[in-house]
Amino acid sequence: MMSVEEARATILARFTPLGSELVSLLAASGRVLAQEVVAREDLPPFANSAMDGYAVRAGATDGAAADRRVRLRLSGEVPAGSVYLGTLDAGAAIRILTGAPMPAGADAVIQQELTRSADDWVEVEAEVTPGTNVREAGSDVQQGTVVLRSGIEIGPAEIALLAALGIDPVSVARRPRVALLATGDELVPASDPLLPGQIHDSNAPHLNAAVALAGAEPWPLGIARDRADDLRAHLRAAAGADLILTTGGVSVGTYDLVKDILAEQGNVEFWRVRMRPGKPLAFGMLGNTPLLGLPGNPVSTAVTFELFGRPAIRRMLGCSELLRPEVEVELAGEPLERADRRHFVRARLASRAGQLVATPTGPQGSHIITSLVGASALIVVTEGSGVVRPGDHVPALLLDQAHWEAS
Amino acid sequence: MMSVEEARATILARFTPLGSELVSLLAASGRVLAQEVVAREDLPPFANSAMDGYAVRAGATDGAAADRRVRLRLSGEVPAGSVYLGTLDAGAAIRILTGAPMPAGADAVIQQELTRSADDWVEVEAEVTPGTNVREAGSDVQQGTVVLRSGIEIGPAEIALLAALGIDPVSVARRPRVALLATGDELVPASDPLLPGQIHDSNAPHLNAAVALAGAEPWPLGIARDRADDLRAHLRAAAGADLILTTGGVSVGTYDLVKDILAEQGNVEFWRVRMRPGKPLAFGMLGNTPLLGLPGNPVSTAVTFELFGRPAIRRMLGCSELLRPEVEVELAGEPLERADRRHFVRARLASRAGQLVATPTGPQGSHIITSLVGASALIVVTEGSGVVRPGDHVPALLLDQAHWEAS
């Protein structure tokens, strides 16, 4: 049997980044950045006021207090979006609004609440030091700084930063097109009624969502029957995909036609990987298109997609991190048995007094779909390890965060 | 000043769930379930084989071993998707493939690897007990069980379960339409060059992404100038929205026209909330449409949206959890000062030896957009608390998980 690392390395070696395209910032969320972002200007671009109030020379407020107001001459106003064209005199104040550029000669802002004003003067009732309520140019980002690296995922915060730096459109990785094909005579689409012996296909809908969350464009091709002609036709329909994902048909049964067809049409290998759920896996090239054959049990499909499919998609996207974050957690609940194959146990996360605790989601059989629901992590029980007991520390892969128990 | 809880309760009281619509499972990812899901059938729907092998009566294998094979008569075959119509005799075996229904009379499956077969017999080289390699009907979900509750977010695992149960289409919450309006004479779209005194608007692009991640449909209405006619025109354009979010124009400046217009057109209140970043906030009704006025500083916009805008959207979606999970974390890095207002500190998360550790992202000024980048949590420093020192435990809100440091 192959190790998980060996299987993944062999798969990843066949993928490279696909290239980039420009998108508007309004369409950039969830995409992967395909350029290094260097600030072309300071952020903020100019020194500006953090408050509504009066721009002054700090020295002019020396000795001011609530019972000893200092009176300054009001010599103008600078709203946000405008520039004060003159220079502030020592004994003067300029009305300034939040975000407006500091006038030349001013080095501090005294906030409105600490002042009284009339037509042509303002009284200040507190001292300010130079820099008070001033946001210096470049205090967030200095021109020339690398602010974002290629390969990161773009979320709201990155979009805010790109917008502030005037970068719109932005270069993002082209989304890989991932063809999805479920195989099996027993499968019926979720919307159809069951006849005896049939089950609803859950793998194609599952992968359709998981592939999109991984950053790719899913391309569902339906269900192929266990007949050579039907399977061939479905695989032909996948021409043009960047990756074909199949489910089912990779284990030892006589009816596992997938193997024969793949062997006939391409250079696809069949592996046994030292993992649970999972184990049977197919990978290779169908013409120029990589094909990853996942096992048909729903939980096996989900876990092998996580471990092999998602990293392949992320390599095509040029992601700097291909894998899920792996963190140390404390096991709660029942002991986990030692296994010959690496066991990926679906679990819920919680923080108890600051300790990261993972509780398995219940029975872990490869057909128990409910074990996937509510899982925010995969506990990794290394092959050959002893029994893991509640309170023991184990590594866990963090899945998309949806289900945390509150403290 | 108002507490965060008071402000949020007042806001949430004005929102109710919007109603539901049917969508295909292929379009259900990220939507909120608007029906309770009860299993109409057992899952799996029938007892089936977990392996490729032979269905037998377990008793017929008594005494079988590698050196003492037991020979059974091969009396048929049941591939997945078919049903064996007869009943298994005591001394017989039926070829069965993974997922195929157990034939009547059989109570165990012996896996192919432990057998040898020829035309009309099969030899087994190990004993099996009743139930071996059999997945009982209902072993995942029993008919009549409530498997998913209304108000949860639908992800790949929930889609797999819905599909397996034959539920497609599924009833989901209608997505609220959220109008986005940035206000300010200093603002320029990210794609335009800056003139002196101008900055790029980062709030509308930021909210456009954050609103979509919260489950709503963003409706960007551009930038309104600090002129009554322009602001009125933009607000008129928002008619038909389920929520209007504005940024800027809610603090004390003379040019904060937003206040006047809102007071003139609706029943909008202006609050000072005991929080940092944030503080000024507007909320009320513009005709029949709720309006939430967020402060204009980018970090203040982001944090007030998290605390007030996102929960309002999630109430319209009928979500069972309106707020982010709050967990206990250990502070790392610099001490956090005591504050009169509740301080929401952007931080990175890591697990160190199983301990959940949060490190602030750097300078925390309300104009420091880079403090948002890479933040996976908001540390909550309660108003009036003492200095929080590294090693102290504090509550933190978990944001969308993107940035975890590995162990």
pLDDT in tens, B337-375: 877 899 999 999 998 988 999 999 998 889 999 999 989
Mutation for testing the A interface, residue in B112, B259, B299, B373 having most A CBs under 10 Å: B373
pLDDT band (50, 70, 90) for residue A255? low
B279 has pLDDT over 90: no
Q: How far is CA A341 from the centre of its chain?
A: 29
pLDDT band (50, 70, 90) for residue B403? low
B285 touching chain A per CB within 8 A: no
Predicted local confidence at residue A405, as pLDDT: 67
Q: What are phi and psi of A90, to 5 degrees?
A: -55, -45
A245 has pLDDT over 90: yes
Predicted local confidence at residue A261, as pLDDT: 81
Instruction: For A270-321, give the DSSP string.
Output: EEEBSEES--EEEEEEETTEEEEEE-SSHHHHHHHIIIIIHHHHHHHTT-S-
pLDDT band (50, 70, 90) for residue B194? very high
SS3 B192: coil
CATH superfamily of B4-16+175-316: MoaB/Mog-like domain (3.40.980.10)
Nearest-Cα distance to chain B for A391, in Å, is 10
A320 touching chain B per CB within 8 A: no
> In this structure, which topology does domain A48-135 adopt according to CATH?
Molybdopterin biosynthesis moeA protein; domain 3 (2.170.190)
Q: For the segment B109-153, what is each residue's pLDDT rounded down to a tens digit?
A: 999 999 998 889 999 999 999 999 999 999 999 999 999 999 999
Which chain B residues have a beta carbon less than 8 Å from that of A393?
353-354
Please state, in angstroms and as integers, the Cα–Cα distance from residue B399 to each residue in B141, B373, B378, following that order: 32, 12, 7
B212 touching chain A per CB within 8 A: yes
Nearest CA in chain A to B391: A354
A190 and B166: CB-CB below 8 Å?
Answer: yes
By Cβ distance, the residue of B29, B50, B367 closest to A140 is B367
By Cβ distance, the residue of A24, A160, A356 closest to B206 is A160
Q: Which residue has the tokens 């979900």?
A: B141
Is the CATH number of domain A326-405 2.40.340.10?
A: yes
Please state, in angstroms and as integers, the Cα–Cα distance from residue A378 to each residue in A345, A355, B358, following that order: 5, 17, 22
SS3 B218: strand
Q: CA nearest B197: which of A143, A100, A167, A142?
A: A100
Which chain A residues have a beta carbon less than 8 Å from that of B158?
373
Q: Which residue has the tokens 């004993």?
A: B127
pLDDT band (50, 70, 90) for residue A384? confident
Show the DSSP H helices in A69-180 as ranges: 156-164
CA gap A365, A29 in Å, rounded: 36
CA gap B236, A333 in Å, rounded: 56
Predicted local confidence at residue B255, as pLDDT: 58
Instruction: For B321-390, give the DSSP string.
Output: --S--EEEEEE-SS-B---SSEEEEEEEEEEETTEEEEEE-S---TT-GGGTTT--EEEEE-TT---B-T
**Chain B residues 260-279 with a CB less than 8 Å from chain A:** none
Average pLDDT over residues B179-208: 96
B266 has pLDDT over 90: no
**Domain A20-42+151-173: CATH architecture, name and number where available:** Alpha-Beta Complex (3.90)
Helix H or strand E segment including A250:
none
- Between B266 and A281, the more confident residue is A281
Predicted local confidence at residue B251, as pLDDT: 64
A165 touching chain B per CB within 8 A: yes
B298 and A160: CB-CB below 8 Å?
Answer: yes
B190 and A167: CB-CB below 8 Å?
Answer: yes
CA gap B159, A82 in Å, rounded: 53
SS3 B193: coil
Predicted local confidence at residue B397, as pLDDT: 95
Question: So what CATH class is B20-41+151-173?
Answer: alpha beta
> How many CA atoms within 13 Å lie on the side-chain side of A309?
36
Nearest CA in chain B to A326: B406
Average pLDDT over residues A340-358: 92
Mutation for testing the B interface, residue in A32, A84, A97 having most B CBs under 10 Å: A97
Whether cis (ω within 30° of 0) applies to the bond prior to B169 is yes
By Cβ distance, the residue of B100, B375, B407 closest to A157 is B375
By Cβ distance, the residue of B112, B197, B400 closest to A82 is B197
Average pLDDT over residues A56-68: 95
Nearest CA in chain B to A330: B354
Q: Write down the domain spans for chain B.
A: 4-16+175-316, 20-41+151-173, 48-135, 326-405
Residue B60 is classified by DSSP as G
pLDDT band (50, 70, 90) for residue B253? low
Predicted local confidence at residue A102, as pLDDT: 97
Compute the count of residue pairs across chains A and B with CB atoms less than 8 Å apart. Answer: 356
Mutation for testing the B interface, residue in A327, A330, A398 having most B CBs under 10 Å: A327
Same fold, A20-42+151-173 and A48-135: no
- Do B128 and B116 form a contact (C-beta atoms < 8 A)? no
Q: Which residue has the tokens 């080289």?
A: B125
Average pLDDT over residues A87-103: 94
B81 and A44: CB-CB below 8 Å?
Answer: no
Please state, in angstroms and as integers, the Cα–Cα distance from residue A351 to each residue in A307, A326, A330, B335, following that order: 25, 16, 10, 22
B294 has pLDDT over 70: yes
Please state, in angstroms and as integers, the Cα–Cα distance from residue A24 to each residue in A158, A162, A169, following that order: 13, 11, 4
SS3 B253: coil
Predicted local confidence at residue B155, as pLDDT: 96
The mean of the pLDDT values for chain B is 93
Average pLDDT over residues A313-331: 95
A407 has pLDDT over 60: no
Nearest-Cα distance to chain B for A65, in Å, is 22
Average pLDDT over residues A299-307: 97
A191 and B168: CB-CB below 8 Å?
Answer: yes
The mean of the pLDDT values for chain A is 93
By Cβ distance, the residue of B190, B213, B350 closest to A166 is B190
Mutation for testing the B interface, residue in A170, A183, A186 having most B CBs under 10 Å: A186
pLDDT band (50, 70, 90) for residue B402? low
By Cβ distance, the residue of B45, B160, B192 closest to A206 is B160
A44 touching chain B per CB within 8 A: yes
Q: For the segment B28-52, what is each residue's pLDDT rounded down to a tens digit?
A: 999 999 999 999 999 999 999 998 9
Q: For the segment A258-300, what is each residue's pLDDT rounded down to a tens digit?
A: 777 887 888 888 889 999 998 889 999 998 999 999 999 999 9
By Cβ distance, the residue of B101, B164, B226 closest to A200 is B164
Average pLDDT over residues A17-45: 97
CATH superfamily of A4-16+174-316: MoaB/Mog-like domain (3.40.980.10)
Predicted local confidence at residue B11, as pLDDT: 98
Q: What are phi and psi of A158, to 5 degrees?
A: -65, -35
Nearest-Cα distance to chain A for B77, in Å, is 11
**Chain A residues 81-140 with a CB less than 8 Å from chain B:** 81-83, 95, 97-101, 112-113, 135, 139-140
For chain A, what percent of residues have pLDDT higher than 90?
81
B254 has pLDDT over 60: no
Q: For the segment A202-226, what is each residue's pLDDT rounded down to a tens digit?
A: 999 999 999 999 999 999 999 999 8
Nearest CA in chain A to B328: A354
CA gap B87, B98 in Å, rounded: 19
A156 and B206: CB-CB below 8 Å?
Answer: yes
A143 has pLDDT over 60: yes
**Chain A residues 137-156 with a CB less than 8 Å from chain B:** 139-141, 147-148, 153, 155-156
